[in-house]
Amino acid sequence: MRSIRRIALASLVLAGLLLVPALESAPTGSAATEMSDAVGALLASLSPEQRSAIHFPFADAERLNWHFIPRERRGLPLRDMNGEQRELTRALLETGLSPHGTRKVDDIIALELVLRELGGNPEVRDPELYFVSIFGDPTAQRPWGWRFEGHHLSLNFTVVDGAPVAWAPAFLGANPAEVREGSRAGLRALAPEEDLARELVRSLDGGQRAQALVDTEAPRDIITGNALDIDPLEPAGISITDLRPDQVDALVRLIDEYLSRMADDLAASRRARIEASDLSRIGFAWAGSLEVGEPHYYRVQGPTFLIEYDNTQNDANHIHSVWRDFDGDFGRDLLREHYRDAPHAH
């Protein structure tokens, strides 16, 4: 009798959808080099006062101080940059994000103007209140990182030994999820994140849906919030081994929507880690209504990663979504290996 793992792999092969074509397609490390170059160019353009605002030691507690709500932040905001520095910040973002991901970020930032149009406080609803923070020295042979963060965005990158790049936590949100009036009417910044998951859950038969549905009411927000350390959530919902090939297709497309936000070699590296893990432990869970416009939540959980999505606030028109790595948020796994193999590099 074949093992559950082999059944999961067989399902993926039948669908023609192995998450990566082969491990040899893993990244070359170009993103780390591009990030280092982009950070160097940005730092070189800054005044001493701007450098003081943007730059922190790698071990500073600020590196782990992440959140996605409007709040006071440290770092250098876009509003304190000139045109050249904003272009250099854009170039830095493009080293970590794909064009697909960059468009999502642009749309999320543009929603600040929508909220302003809808009566929001201009001091808070400001598309220039997005901050860049640099942690450590990208020119040294030591770990370093950077963050781009503001309302509904928190993108955290960690570079270790000049090549591996960790990119979690990675949070994207959208309010409104669908703009229904004004100059941006029709904009849905995170449409695939909602539509692909609903396509999957609606494809489930009665028995499958009973496994996947973990609650008839959706939680008020993503369960992990901005916690620094997270453990696998229970229950996991329906296992990938209980899905038909077409449903495996839908689940893989949903996972890939989150991966495809990132630069190609970063996404490929993460796909390789998923493919090398026990695929049979990937599960999909849904809570709340299946109907458009009603509160709903889902998560996709594997042995190494967690995707959470929630759309309950503002009459189910306000999305929070995040990718977390159980062992790799803020590059913890890479850092542990680095300090184990190079104890002198503290």
Q: Has residue 343 got a pLDDT over 70?
A: no
Segment 198-220 mean pLDDT: 97
pLDDT at 310: 98
Report percent pLDDT > 90 for the chain: 80
Q: What is the pLDDT of residue 29?
A: 57
Give percent of the chain with pLDDT exceeding 70: 90
pLDDT digits (tens, 9 = 90+) for 57-76: 999 999 999 999 999 999 99
Q: In the predicted model, what is the mean pLDDT of the chain?
A: 90
pLDDT-derived band at 234, boundaries 50, 70, 90: confident
Residues 301-307: what's their mean pLDDT? 96
Task: Quote the pLDDT of residue 342.
Answer: 67
Which stretch of DSSP H or E encloses residue 90? helix 83-96
The answer to whether 285 and 237 are in contact (CB under 8 A) is yes
C-alpha pair distances (Å), 125 with each of 106, 128, 184, 314: 15, 9, 15, 16
CB 237 within 8 A of CB 284: yes
Whether the per-residue pLDDT at 326 is higher than 90: the answer is yes
Under 8 Å between Cβ of 316 and 290: no
| pLDDT at residue number 235 | 80
Q: Look at residue 284 in the predicted model and tell me its pLDDT.
A: 98
The DSSP-derived string for 174-241 is: ESSSS--SSTTTT--TTHHHHHHHHHHHHH--HHHHHHHEEESS--SS-TTTT-SS----S---EEGG
pLDDT at 330 over 70: yes
Of 6 and 286, which is predicted with more confidence? 286
Output 37 or 14, whichever has higher pLDDT. 37
Report the DSSP pairing between strands 170-174 and 213-215: unpaired
pLDDT at 26 over 70: no
Q: What is the CA radius of gyration of the chain?
A: 20
Rounded mean pLDDT of 205-231?
A: 96
pTM for this model (two decimals): 0.91
Q: Is the pLDDT of residue 8 over 60?
A: no
What is the tens place of the pLDDT at every residue in 140-185? Answer: 789 999 999 999 999 999 999 887 799 999 999 999 999 999 889 9
Query: Could you read off the pLDDT of 247-297 as tens digits, one per residue?
Result: 999 999 999 999 999 999 999 999 998 999 999 999 999 999 999 999 999
Q: Which residues contact 70 (CB under 8 A, 6 or more apart)?
A: 124, 129, 151
What pLDDT was estimated at residue 7? Answer: 43
Residue 27 has pLDDT above 60, yes or no: no
On the question of pLDDT at 90 being above 70, the answer is: yes
Choose between 183 and 1: higher pLDDT: 183
Band of residue 344 on the pLDDT scale cut at 50, 70, 90: low
